[in-house]
Amino acid sequence: MTSVVRGLLAACVLASPWVQAMDYRVETVTGGLEYPWAMAFLPDGRMLVTERPGRLRIVGADGALQAEPVGGLPEGFHAAQAGLMDVVLDPDFASNQQLYLSYAYGTLDANNTRLSRARLVDGQLQDVQTLFSAQPAKAGASHYGGRLAFLADGTLVLTLGDAFDLREEAQNPANHLGKIVRLNRDGSVPADNPLVGKAGAAPEIYSLGHRNVQGIAYDAQNRRLYSHEHGPRGGDELNLIEPGNNYGWPLVSFGVDYTGAHVTPYTELPGYEPPLLHWTPSVAPSSLMLYRGQRFPQWDGDLFASTLAEKSVRRIRLQDGMLAGEEVLFEELDERIRAVYAGPDGALYLLTDNAKGRVLRVVPTE
């Protein structure tokens, strides 16, 4: 384990009295990872890390990267943004060894996001089951969403993308493009999903009108679900997700197209939920985490969003569901940050997004 940098948390974006400088130390837990995308903490102290090219790796409690990837992964599609994405443990993992994986499936001409469940036994996946495949299959290799989170009732939400070229479909309730879906742990549809029984609507849909949702975090204490999504040029959004709500894409946005043309003239419209905040210009938010812990007591209850374009982590303070301020953290690393996590030890963990990716741990300076 190597200490790579020391710093001071001091870059305040929105000035407010709660900002407090804090010394920290960033350590390298392990390297040698190719575009790591997500991680999960096993009960025995080991970690699972997904690599976008299609490997699931085990990192020992001592930081040693197991040479051989986990075997038995379902077949996926790997190109550009497509590949193996999230991994989360079942709430009853200690007794059933089950985990969930999101990944791209299909071919360059016909692909989308898939959710599977499996058991992790002696470094191998067993009893792999496909639970959900987003429809329709589309061409290209962009905008898959792919983040997973469990809600208080044990159901699972999966974020999805709009397929880039099919953005108008984010407003079409008949398909899964540009949606967040909610499923039971066996892949069945919860009876109380907001569009169940509505003609012409996909029953898995939990919310719609999204672009490419790569962050999702559930606040169990306050029963709130937060997500963030990539805008085009500007218009990255942080949203409070409520079942059945429409978040506007592409009819409402603060962003503009990559050509410079306006996606829409509207930044708000009746019937569409406004974001809690938007980042313009884009920071490219890539994961979202709610911190609950005592190792950094000043951070307890705050949201953290990793970013790719800004090469940072945004600390977002919310009070009673309202924005109270932001800080930009870890810019001194000069690394694209794919994901941020709160570890069981109270430390923050970061995944760097490159061909020689690392797992980093952030701890207070003692």
CA atoms of 34 and 338, how far apart (whole Å): 12
Where is 8: in which H helix or E strand?
strand 2-8
One-letter identity of residue 157 = V
List, in sequence order, every residue forming a beta bridge with 49; answer none if it has no partner. 39, 57
pLDDT above 70 as % of the chain: 94
CA atoms of 120 and 280, how far apart (whole Å): 41
**Is the bond preceding residue 250 a cis peptide, omega within 30 degrees?**
yes
Q: What is the pLDDT of residue 5?
A: 43
* CATH code: domain of residue 144: 2.120.10.30
Q: What is the pLDDT of residue 321?
A: 67
Does residue 33 contact residue 57 with C-beta atoms inside 8 Å?
yes
**Is the bond preceding residue 281 a cis peptide, omega within 30 degrees?**
yes
User: Count of H helices and E strands in the chain?
Assistant: 1, 24
Catalytic residues: 143
Q: For residue 70, which of 88, 54, 52, 93 has the smallest C-alpha distance?
A: 54
Paired sense of beta strands 277-279 and 124-133, if any: unpaired
One-letter identity of residue 53 = P
- Using CB atoms within 10 Å of the CB of residue 75, give its burial: 0 to 12 exposed, 13 to 18 middle, 19+ buried: exposed
Within 8 A by CB and 6+ apart from 291, the residues are 299, 300, 301, 302, 303, 304, 342, 348
Q: What is the pLDDT of residue 4?
A: 40
CA atoms of 263 and 224, how far apart (whole Å): 30
User: Distance of CA 91 to CAs 46, 99, 177, 193, 338, Å?
Assistant: 17, 9, 27, 21, 24
DSSP structural state of residue 95: H
- DSSP, collapsed to helix, strand or coil, labels residue 331 as helix
CA atoms of 125 and 76, how far apart (whole Å): 15
Q: For residue 99, which of 72, 114, 120 has the smallest C-alpha distance?
A: 120
How many structural domains compose the chain? 1
Token pair in block for residue 314:
């945004």
Collect the ranges in the chain with pLDDT lower than 70: 1-22, 321
Burial call 5-43: b when 16+ CB within 10 Å, e when fewer: eebebebeeeeeeebeebebbbbbbbeebebbbbbbbbe
**Is the bond preceding residue 136 a cis peptide, omega within 30 degrees?**
yes
Q: For residue 125, which of 158, 87, 164, 174 has the smallest C-alpha distance?
A: 87
DSSP-based helix, strand, coil % in the chain, nearest 5: 5, 45, 50
Q: What is the pLDDT of residue 14?
A: 45
Q: Tens digits of per-residue pLDDT, 8-26?
A: 333 344 434 444 456 899 9
Q: Which domain holds residue 144?
A: 2-364
CA atoms of 350 and 329, how far apart (whole Å): 12
How many C-beta atoms lie closer than 10 Å to residue 364's C-beta? 13
